[in-house]
Amino acid sequence: MSFIALLIFTICLIEIQFALTNCNNEVDKIFSLPGQPKLNFQQYAGYIVVDDQQQISLFYYFVEAELNPTPKPLVLWLNGGPGCSSVGAGAFIEHGPLKVSGNHLIKNEYSWNKEANMLYLESPAGVGFSFSTNSSFYDYVDDEMTARGNILFLEKWLNKFPEYRNNDFYLTGESYGGHYVPQLADYIIKSEMKINLKGIAIGNPLLEFNTDFNSRAEYFWSHGLISDATYKLLNTVCNISELRRQGQQGHLTPSCTHVFVQYSREIGKFINFYDVTLDVCLPSVQSQSAALNQFQDSSKIDVCIHDETFVYLNREDVRIALHARLVNVKQWSVFTSILHYNMQNLELPMLPILGSLVQSGVRVLIYSGDQDSVLPLTGTRVLIDKLAKELGLNTTVPYSCWFEGKQVAGWNQVYGNILSFVTVRGASHEVPYSQPERSLVLFRSFIGAKI
């Protein structure tokens, strides 16, 4: 074959490969979601098959950065649970470009895609729109299986969107994402995957079972939710980590039952544990309307957005636009009801993995909404300080307040310019949901290596 013929043949192969890649992207492109406003960026959604034997397909939703997306960072978001939807919670309730309002969508002015290309992954199969056609898969899932599926997803997704392979890459998440995110980052480093992993950020994470769960008692007491007597019971008779452990096993001892009944009675049924200062979504339209009229001047947070998102994502026209399917379930839910996760994995300590990541040069940001009683900042700050001491990291930014505009947005402390702990004032377990402006400032600072 002559040089010219070889050159033409090579060009043809490149054009065919480009066409196939472009075709793959076009198949997943979202041309418009029902009720959405006009957008100036592209959206994609679809499936990546990560296990042919188990027939596992993981669902993703990808939104390009608003302006000049190609050079901007790629950020993968993982909600927690285990079993919580990253699309329903992360994208449509927290920091995605669109939020549900009634039967239509409104633009989120504090979307994280103002700063980065955002990739939301439903993981593991059985969560959100992700599925396995082999229903026996749901009988047992654990952290290792989830991490393996996630890294296979990421590799295949980057083959589908190769223009983002060399971008700065960040892993983010919240809650049980305190397991998902460090484990996936660890897999990436050990696999020597060709990706520019720059940092991880996790909000209100589960890092160490006993410390995190036992910190709830102090948080309840300090916020006036329980009495002095009940606080004493939680510290001497049966602590919350033991309550959680026994609850997962399906049986409480008499002493723990007494403590559980006592603190549950005092807190009552109408407190949102994910934000103890936030109103709850009331059960009837009439009472919701009355509550909204009463509190409309004091709060801009839509406390019923979870219900609205549930209705929206269960519309057939919405599923068609998202290229989503319902497999082995009758409806989409923000939290899976079919997945049997190995709850013993909750007791796996994550500090050793975080330490390994720091030693590998990966920046680690741990942030806490200070109104969350589920995984309170009181436990998290102790753990991060402990990790810094174990790594021999000195404080490079002393504990001090940070600002959004002219208001204090929270407090932060940085160790060795690589490990950071940040609180977000007035924020819930889902920080971007209740403090969108402050979360965007924090996110911008994180990917800009300013914190």
Q: Is the pLDDT of residue 442 over 90?
A: yes
In what helix (H) or strand (E) does residue 398 lie, and over which residues does it extend?
Answer: strand 395-404
- Distance between CA atoms of residues 66 and 42, nearest Å: 8
356: pLDDT confidence band, cut at 50, 70 and 90? very high
pLDDT digits (tens, 9 = 90+) for 251-264: 999 999 999 999 99
My answer on whether 39 and 13 are in the same domain is no
Active site residue 251: no
Active-site residue, selected from the candidate residues 28, 143, 212, 372: 372
Residue with the bigger pLDDT between 267 and 19: it is 267
Q: Is residue 237 part of a domain?
A: no
Predicted confidence band of residue 281 (pLDDT cuts 50, 70, 90):
confident
Task: Looking at the structure, tell me whether residues 16 and 125 fall in a common domain.
Answer: no
Percent of the chain with pLDDT over 90: 85
Q: Are residues 73 and 126 in the same domain?
A: yes
For 195, what's the count of Cα atoms within 13 Å in the CB-facing half-sphere?
A: 32
Q: Above 50 in pLDDT, residue 74?
A: yes
CB neighbour burial string for 182-216, b if at least 16 within 10 angstroms, e if fewer: bbbbbbbbeeeeebebbbbbbbbbbbbbbbbbbbb
DSSP H helices in 225-300: 228-236, 240-249, 254-267, 285-295
pLDDT digits (tens, 9 = 90+) for 229-251: 999 999 999 999 999 999 999 89
For residue range 183-210, list pLDDT tens digits in order.
999 999 999 888 999 999 999 999 999 9
Per-residue burial over 114-153, b = 16 or more CB atoms within 10 Å of its CB, e = otherwise: bbbbbbbbbbbbbbbbbbbeeeebbeebebebbbbbbbbb
Q: What pLDDT does residue 54 have? A: 86
Asked if the structure places residue 193 within a domain, the reply is yes
- Is residue 288 scored above 60 in pLDDT? no
| Active-site annotation holds for 429 | yes
Same domain, 5 and 114: no
Mean pLDDT, range 359-367, rounded to an integer: 98
- Least confidently predicted of 92-96, 291-295, 370-374, 428-432: 291-295
As a whole number, the mean pLDDT across the chain is 91
Asked whether residue 226 is assigned to any structural domain, the reply reads no
Are residues 111 and 199 both part of a single domain? yes
Give domain status of residue 281, yes or no.
Answer: no
List the catalytic residue out of 86, 130, 132, 175. 175
pLDDT at position 12 is 43
Confidence of residue 329 (pLDDT cuts 50, 70, 90): very high
Q: Are residues 22 and 144 in the same domain?
A: no
Identify whether residues 15 and 94 lie together within a single domain. Answer: no
4 and 132 co-located in one domain: no
pLDDT bracket for residue 435 (50, 70, 90):
very high
**159 and 15 both lie in a single domain:** no
pLDDT grade for 102, boundaries at 50, 70 and 90: confident
Query: Which band of pLDDT confidence, cut at 50, 70 and 90, is reported for residue 283?
Result: low
State the total domains in the chain.
2
Give me the pLDDT at residue 21, please: 45
Average pLDDT score over residue span 422-439: 97
Question: Which pTM does this prediction carry?
Answer: 0.91
Q: Which one is catalytic: 373, 429, 434, 439?
A: 429
Of residues 295 and 230, the one with the higher pLDDT is 230
> Which CATH number is 126's domain given?
3.40.50.1820
* Residue 198 forms part of a structural domain: yes
Range of the domain at 405: 31-209+342-447
Is residue 158 a part of any domain in this protein? yes
Same domain, 113 and 53: yes
Residue 6 has pLDDT above 50, yes or no: no
Do 174 and 100 belong together in one domain?
yes
